Amino acid sequence: MRQVEKRDVEKQAPKESNKDSYQNQKKLKSLNNKLSNIESKISKLEKEIKAKDVELATNYEKSVAQKDFLNKYQEKKKELEKLMKDWEEVQLSLEENS
């Protein structure tokens, strides 16, 4: 009788681990998607900032004379910094869950 009970317990355990595995896979996929989105935003912002840098280098006076140019430039830099921190956090979470 004990052997039958043990078999039942053994059969139930993998089902629970399958649920955990599924939940873990789901979480990893979510984190990977989040990471991908952050990376695309970072890439876009870096291109925008690079364009502003070129604009500043080629014609500083004209660029600075534009209304809110420097404010917008600084906002983009801060947003990039925030995205970099977000990327780090998601990357760490991914490493912890892998």
pLDDT on residue 16: 52
Tell me how crowded residue 10 is: count the other CB atoms within 10 A of its CB. 9
Question: Rounded CA gap, 86 and 79, in Å?
Answer: 10
| Cα gap 44→41, rounded to integer Å | 5
How many separate domains does the chain show?
Answer: 1
CB 87 within 8 A of CB 32: no
Binned at pLDDT 50, 70 and 90, residue 15 comes out as: low
Half-sphere exposure of 88 (CA within 13 A, CB side): 6
Range of the domain at 15: 2-97
Please give the model's pTM, rounded to 2 decimal places: 0.75
Amino acid letter, 57: A
Identify the pLDDT of residue 90. Answer: 96
Q: Is the pLDDT of residue 93 over 70?
A: yes
Residue pointed to by tokens 């600084």:
74
Q: What is the mean pLDDT of the chain?
A: 86
Report the range of poorest mean pLDDT among 6-15, 20-29, 77-86, 87-96: 6-15
